[in-house]
Amino acid sequence: MSETSPLIEYRGNCHCGAFKFKLRVPELNEALSCNCSICSKNGYLWTFPERDQFTVVKGDESTTLKSYRFGKQTIMHKFCPTCGTSVMQARMPNCTDARIPIMGINIRTLEGVDVDSLKVNAFEGCMAEGAPHKVPELVATGLVPEGSTAYHGNCHCGAVAYTLLAPQKISKVTWCNCSICSRDAVLWIYPDTDTITFRGRESAAEYTFSSRVAYHGFCKVCGVSVYERFDNSHDPRTALNVRTMHGLDVATLEIRLFDGKAMPPVYSVWEP
């Protein structure tokens, strides 16, 4: 008789707490990282439970979360339309491809999981997408100043796009481990606002909490986190998530940690 691994109960939620759930699965030691067009923008770390291992505690998977589909229309990516947290994916009911898991949970949304300790297995999802995901029309900015580099980026669906005219090439980014940045897997740079030209800003939702100084901008359609706006007249910067930039290999960048998790107050949406 094979030995059965004991089940552990994990709690998970979107950042604002509108959607909460529990998983009862063996201890999570591994995660899957996919390099397809949407997983790379969201920085997902996946685990694939069975339906009976997943229980919704608050909210509704179909109505509290918003669904986004693209390409072959076989998977629904589900995110919270209030805070932008990308929580899960689910196989479409009419999908007959058994290779696609019934559901996937973004491990970054789980409470108490040290994602840095996980063995991360890479999946070449970009090869499974078929035709390359179409990049939207670039945001025009006019002439690029001598010595500057133009970086183009957008959410997955293309509703929110931008061009950054950077005086220096991007080589360093900031990883913040606070409650929302760790969920969104964002990698930030902080250019001056006047070096960024946006298109479709009206298609972005903004979410803030706690001190209400930073407003996290994500696409209302696909849920991808694009920028961070600061409500401070003395701060001339806007943060950009480099995961949304075309052709920028984040694996080559120097990542600096900002310990946002250590800043009060302690984040929690669950009752003690």
At 169, is the pLDDT very low, low, confident or very high (cuts 50, 70, 90)? very high
Taking only the tens place, the pLDDT of each residue in 173-190 is 999 999 999 999 999 999
Cis preceding linkage at 265, omega within 30: yes
The domain segmentation of the chain, as residue ranges, is: 7-124, 149-262
- How far apart (Å, rounded) are the C-alpha atoms in residues 216 and 184? 10
- 1 pLDDT more than 60: no
CB 136 within 8 A of CB 70: no
Q: Do domains 7-124 and 149-262 have the same CATH topology?
A: yes
DSSP 17: S
**CATH number listed for the domain at residues 7-124:** 2.170.150.70
- Which class would CATH give 149-262? mainly beta
Ranges of beta strands (E only) in the chain are: 7-13, 20-26, 30-34, 46-47, 54-58, 66-68, 75-79, 86-91, 103-106, 119-123, 149-154, 161-166, 172-176, 188-189, 196-199, 204-207, 214-219, 225-230, 238-241, 254-258
Mean pLDDT of the region 97-105 = 92
Burial of 137 (0-12, 13-18, 19+ CB in 10 A): exposed
Q: Taking the model in full, what pTM does it have?
A: 0.93
pLDDT tens for each residue of 208-228: 998 888 999 999 999 999 999
